[in-house]
Amino acid sequence: MHDQGLPQELIRAKRDGQALDAEAIRTLVAGIEDGSLGDAQLGAFAMAVFLRGMDAAETVALTEAIRDSGEVLAWDDLDLPGPILDKHSTGGVGDLVSLVLGPWVAACGGFVPMVSGRGLGHTGGTLDKLEAIPGYDIVPSRVRFRELVRDAGVAIIGQTATLAPADRRLYGVRDVTATVESLPLIVSSILGKKLACGLDALVMDVKVGSGAFMPTPAKSRELAETIAEVASKAGTPTTALLTDMSQPLAPCAGNAVEVREAIALLTGERSDGRLLEVTRTLATELLVAGRLAASGDEARARLDATLASGAAAERFARMVSGLGGPGDLLARPEAYLPEAPVRRVVHAAQPGRVQRMDTRALGMAVVELGGGRRQPGDAIDPAVGLTQIAAIDDPVDAGHPLAVIHARNEEDAERAARRLRAAIDVGEGHAVPPTLIHDVIRREAP
């Protein structure tokens, strides 16, 4: 038994391997939120959870307490004619799924209030990409956000101070106490924020491979299963997909270049590829979970129709102009999206086929070019990045480059070229292209 009131007694109970009940967890999270739990206590609590773990009931209670630590968005008063749906990803390189999925699901009748993040480590951030669009406001007023969700069906914005504030403080302490890599802390952190958006269903994209957040396929699977279970027990039906990140998902990585790619996919300029397939599969799960389609086949047919008709592109355009971006971005992207002054085509040292790649290193090459941050708060360069990145099993030779580098200057381009050649293994013979979608883990709310 643990004393319900005193934080040190609750921390001691967790330290000694006991399970905390929901009341105890609520007490601790209330202390995070109102500041009565000091940083030392918070660090000790995080370490106790890191070392002892949490069972499913504790993780659900922690998720719900973080979700409820601030405002929980409610949409009932808007009388929306469809479900509130969202997607979250553990992040990757060339992973611009959100930019395409949000408007696409909106065009199919869903409402997508997507609160997104910035780049973290080697992974790109949806907000950084959207900020490559001149004028796009990632922090609109609450009223504007709700209007846009109602009118465009989608609004992708930044984290607000009122959503899940306990997570902000807990995450900050975890970051400096070597307690980030804890499954219950990761799950409750991700879900606490997402479930505060008042969702009817969620789909989670958990990456596997050399560019994934989790270090091994087994850990990615454990995260996917735990997220699906905990979110569903917390009342939000959630499906988790395990998808490939052993190479960039799109043939490009950076900020403006990824927005350009999203426009190419939404307008039908490009119509195949791994990115579109993963996005279609995630969106299919959402349409079925949100009862916008009776089956996967019906969902896919609807998705294909809204892409072909231009309805998905139109939702993207409405979101961009509704948040202050140019009204004709889709018609004239080159007039608005910044371009880097130096372009360098990088070839392999010898011809062959791409055998495998260090996707994390490719992401770090983009960070080094200036497309990501070295320190929190650093300004980033929206124009730099990589395009035409070769895929696993693609031939590379004098006519087929490893990638094209977009850099601010020659020196940066040279360094990125060295990184790229080291990160992409070229050899003779065919390589087996990695499985794109490893598994789909579905959990209904109880």
Sketch the per residue contact string, 122 through 161, with ligand URA: x for CB under 6 A, - otherwise. Answer: ----------------------------------------
- Residue 347 appears among annotated catalytic residues: no
Q: Is 86 a catalytic residue?
A: yes
Residue 207 annotated to the active site: no
**Which of residues 207 and 260 has its CB atom nearest to ligand URA in the complex?**
207
Taking the C-alpha atoms of residue 207 and residue 435, their distance in angstroms, rounded to an integer, is: 12
Please identify which of the residues 129, 174, 315, 443 carries the catalytic annotation: 174
Least Å from the CB of residue 390 to ligand URA: 29
Contact 202, 236 (CB under 8 A): yes
Whole-angstrom Cα distance, residue 378 to residue 221?
33
- Least Å distance, CB 7 to ligand URA, is 21
36 part of the active site? no
Half-sphere exposure of 187 (CA within 13 A, CB side): 35
46 binds ligand URA (CB under 6 A): no
Out of 86, 95, 128, 167, the active site residue is: 86
Active site residue 193: yes
Q: Is residue 400 packed enough to be buried (19+ CB in 10 Å), middle (13-18) or exposed (0-12)?
A: middle
Catalytic residue, candidates 87, 274, 419, 438: 87
Active-site annotation holder among 63, 89, 238, 246: 89
Size of the residue set binding ligand URA (CB under 6 A): 5
| Least distance to ligand URA, CB of residue 310, Å | 34
Catalytic residue among 26, 194, 274, 344: 194
CB 157 → ligand URA: shortest distance, Å? 16
Would you give the binding string for ligand URA spanning residues 299-328, x where CB under 6 A is met? ------------------------------
- Cβ 217 to ligand URA shortest distance, Å: 18
CA–CA dist 361, 369 (Å, integer): 12
Cβ nearer to ligand URA, comparing 185 with 323: 185
Residue with smaller CB distance to ligand URA, 171 or 336 = 171
Query: In the bound complex, what is the minimum distance in angstroms from residue 118's beta carbon to ligand URA?
Result: 11
Annotation says 233 is catalytic: no
Q: What whole-number distance in Å separates Cα of residue 95 and Cα of residue 274?
A: 10
When CB distances to ligand URA are compared, the closest residue is: 189
Give 86 or 261: the residue with its C-beta nearer to ligand URA.
86
Compute the distance between CA of residue 73 and CA of residue 149 in angstroms, rounded to an integer. 12
Q: Is 304 a catalytic residue?
A: no
Among 60, 115, 183, 186, binds ligand URA (CB under 6 A): 186
Instruction: State the minimum distance, in angstroms, from the CB of residue 71 to ligand URA.
Output: 18
Closer by beta carbon to ligand URA, 227 or else 417: 227
Choice from 190, 227, 262, 278 touching ligand URA (CB under 6 A): 190
Q: How far is the CB of 306 from ligand URA (least distance, A)?
A: 30
Candidate list 59, 189, 238, 246; residue touching ligand URA; CB under 6 A: 189
SS3 annotation, the chain: CCCCCCHHHHHHHHHCCCCCCHHHHHHHHHHHHHCCCCHHHHHHHHHHHHHHCCCHHHHHHHHHHHHCCCCCCCCHHHCCCCCEEEEEECCCCCCCHHHHHHHHHHHCCCEEEEEECCCECCECCHHHHHCCCCCCCCCCCHHHHHHHHHHHCEEEEECCCCCCHHHHHHHHHHHCCCCCCCHHHHHHHHHHHHHCCCCCEEEEEEEECCCCCCCCHHHHHHHHHHHHHHHHHCCCCEEEEEEECCCCCCCCEECHHHHHHHHHHHCCCCCCCHHHHHHHHHHHHHHHHCCCCCCHHHHHHHHHHHHHCCHHHHHHHHHHHHCCCCCCCCCCHHHHCCCCCEEEEECCCCCEEEEEECHHHHHHHHHHHHHCCCCCCCCCCCCCEEECCCCCCCEEECCECCEEEEECCHHHHHHHHHHHHHHEEEECCCCCCCCCEEEEEEECCC
Pick the closer one to ligand URA by CB: 159 or 306: 159
Active-site residue identified among 27, 126, 281, 359: 126
Considering only residues 156 through 185, tell me which ones interact with ligand URA, judged by CB under 6 A. Answer: 171, 185
The residue among 361, 146, 388 whose CA lies nearest residue 257 is 388
Q: How far is the CB of 124 from ligand URA (least distance, A)?
A: 14
Catalytic residues: 86-89, 126, 174, 189, 193-194
Applying CB under 6 A, which residues contact ligand URA?
171, 185-186, 189-190
